[in-house]
Amino acid sequence: MAKKRPNPTTRKPKVKLSPRDRKTMTRLTGLADRVVTAANGRRDPYVDIPSRTLSNIRYSPRKRILEMGSNKNRRQLFDLSQAKAYAYYARRQRLQAVARSRQNHELARFVLHAEAHDRRGQRKYL
């Protein structure tokens, strides 16, 4: 069966982006442009990642929170050892987030189940 061609008159409506989304899109396209120009110039493309160290943390008394400073680490995209380490840590953080999400889900199920029964073991309807 042949693929249907999209009708040029029926285009998807454009999504309205928030200012934060627009800023993210410009940063991503800027990063992609830098990677392409570096690769065309036979230089290693890189990404500057904020340094997650104790020396790069500052306390903001006005906001009363810890904020990251401006120190950055440069990661070369074509360096295999750095790419593997970065992928490993990103995967580990993603797995930890999934585990926390699952724990929160189990806790919520337990609390809802406990609220659904009163002290005598009879079911009460919320």
Same domain, 54 and 97: no
Does residue 1 fall inside a structural domain? no
Does residue 38 fall inside a structural domain? yes
Domain count, the chain: 2
Same domain, 73 and 88: no
Over the range 9-27, which residues count as b (16 or more CB within 10 Å of their CB) and which as e? eeeeeeeeeeeeeeeeeee
Confidence of residue 91 (pLDDT cuts 50, 70, 90): confident
Does residue 7 fall inside a structural domain? no
Same domain, 92 and 48: no
Same domain, 70 and 90: no
Confidence of residue 126 (pLDDT cuts 50, 70, 90): very low
pLDDT in tens, 44-90: 888 888 888 888 888 989 988 888 889 998 888 777 776 677 677 77
Beta bridge partners of 67: 58
Same domain, 60 and 91: no
